[in-house]
Structure 1
Amino acid sequence: MTGPGAGHGLTGVADAGAFLARLVRFDPAALVRLRPVPGTGRTALWARLPWGVLVVRTVPGGAPGDATVAAGELLTELSAGGATLPRRRDDGWRWPLPPPASRAVEVLPGAELRRIADAAAGTLREAVTHGVAGRAVGQRALRDALLDHVAVVVTPDEEPGTPVEVSQRLVQGVVRMGFVGTGDVQVRAVGRWVGLVGPYGAAWSRTVADLALTPTRIHPNG
């Protein structure tokens, strides 16, 4: 626990600020959970996006403990050059986190993930404007259907197993949070969790089936 007036401990203000600014753009009321990474002098910033995936970016500086605060309040504090941790809102965090140890399953080109994300956005705009099969459909229903679409399937090569399904929700998470950059993105899995880990951060979500962690090939589904 941290006492009143405790410092946030973050020294990577630019990195943290970029993460928080994108987060509050999607959800002005978003919470961010600060979790020190033992032995590294860094802090993992966790948050949940409105479309139901967890995102994380690790930044320099050691937070004083595991604490949840309002993302907008922390962004304001950092932007003003302040060092105080905003009022804690630990009771507001209700989501489990993936286990710390995961295994790389496949590597995807960042450019391909951006293409998939852009194609989904274009499909949504077209459907909202012109409907589906000539019929009007609510924007929220269209958005949810697109987000639930399996964008990439990673299939085991050498042994039978359950394919690892990467949803459009995860793709949108890493792309729209600016985690991809110009590099590649790893598909990682642990238990019932699937993650996309880019150069600047990661997005995670749970799946209904245990994931295969065997050698793989990929099949982009657009």
Structure 2
Amino acid sequence: MTGPGGPVRAPVGAAGGGHGIADVADAGAFLARLVRLDRDAPVRLRPTGAAGRTALWGRLPWGVLAVRTVAGEGPGDVTVAAGELLAGLAAGGGALPPRRDERWRWPLPPGAGRRVETLPAGELRRIATAAAGTLRDAAAHGVAGRAVGQRALRDALLDHVPVVVTPDDAPGEPVEVTQRMVQGLVRMGFLGAAEGEAGATGTGDVQVRTVGRWVGLVGPYGAIWSQKATDLAVRPL
């Protein structure tokens, strides 16, 4: 069977059809944030190519992909309900929830790509915080004195491009990092705790990576990927 992100393999690697996740706390933190944003979210488990590691993929409500790599052989390439897997992990169970491969309808990046820039995590956190403040102010006071719908405001902010990277080592189009990606990185906790918060381990750096028509933000604890829109040509028959 073939899925949009490549072949969907039958479960392997986890004994007795289990989920095969070794670091339950790590996976649980990712799943909890994913379910908090979308209670019906599917999660796709895929081998990473590195022994003993499994990638957890989820799609956030504003159209970007989030991925976190955790310890464990995993069950192969399968999709399950994130909430069901989270409940199983919380209960200490090792069984894999019912497969829901048909619910995964999105392509995945074809690889890790190449790094085109490194950004300070603190700056991305500042951008995300500023956008949230703008949304609150506009919702309370309107824009230029006029009331604007909450969804229209949110979509306009998410489509904003706060960071543009021009690669130095190769010609090509500038790489645009949208607010959708920045919000995903922060909301999924991929930057870790902010400086001054409990558990903070430093701000770290975030890599901007590209592969094909994909742009990624790779943080200390996970990555966000976004596919650039494809130009469609309509020709008469």
User: Normalized against structure 1, the TM-score is what?
Assistant: 0.90
Unaligned residue ranges in structure 1 (runs of 5+): 211-222
Task: Work out which of the residue numbers 192, 212, 216 in structure 2 matches 1:195.
Answer: 216
- Partner in structure 2 of residue 9 of structure 1: 20
SS of the aligned residue for 1:156 comes to coil
Determine the C-alpha separation between the residues in 1 that align with 2:164 and 2:183.
Answer: 16
Unaligned residue ranges in structure 2 (runs of 5+): 1-9, 193-202, 232-237
Determine the C-alpha separation between the residues in 2 that align with 1:60 and 1:159.
Answer: 35
Determine the C-alpha separation between the residues in 2 that align with 1:159 and 1:92.
Answer: 38
Identity of aligned residues (%): 75
185-194 vs 156-165, which moves further: 156-165
Determine the C-alpha separation between the residues in 1 that align with 2:60 and 2:99.
Answer: 19
Matched, 1:124 2:135: yes
SS of the aligned residue for 2:184 comes to helix
Q: Deviations over 1:8-43 (max 9, x none)?
A: 000011110000000000000000000012242110
Matched, 1:109 2:127: no
- Partner in structure 2 of residue 167 of structure 1: 178
Residue 155 of structure 1: how far off its partner (Å): 1.5
SS of the aligned residue for 1:129 comes to helix
Determine the C-alpha separation between the residues in 2 that align with 1:45 and 1:193.
Answer: 18
Contact kept, 8 Å, 2:167 with 2:174, in 1: the verdict is yes
Determine the C-alpha separation between the residues in 2 that align with 1:101 and 1:153.
Answer: 20
Determine the C-alpha separation between the residues in 2 that align with 1:24 and 1:156.
Answer: 36
Contact kept, 8 Å, 2:116 with 2:167, in 1: the verdict is no
- Partner in structure 2 of residue 215 of structure 1: none
Structure 1: which amino acid aligns with 2:119? Answer: L
- Cα 1:159/1:62, change in 2 over 3 Å: closer
Residue 6 of structure 1: how far off its partner (Å): 1.4
Q: Structure 1 runs of 4+ off > 2 angstroms? A: 156-161
Matched, 1:63 2:102: no
Matched, 1:86 2:75: no
- Cα 1:130/1:86, change in 2 over 3 Å: same
- Partner in structure 1 of residue 154 of structure 2: 143
Residue 207 of structure 1: how far off its partner (Å): 1.3
Determine the C-alpha separation between the residues in 2 that align with 1:54 and 1:186.
Answer: 16
Task: Give the structure with the larger strand fraction.
Answer: 1
- Partner in structure 1 of residue 85 of structure 2: 74
Structure 1: which amino acid aligns with 2:191? Answer: V
Determine the C-alpha separation between the residues in 2 that align with 1:9 and 1:96.
Answer: 24
Task: Work out which of the residue numbers 96, 100, 110 in structure 2 matches 1:99.
Answer: 110
User: Normalized against structure 2, the TM-score is what?
Assistant: 0.85
The 5-angstrom pairing of residues 206-217 of structure 1 reads: 206-208=227-229
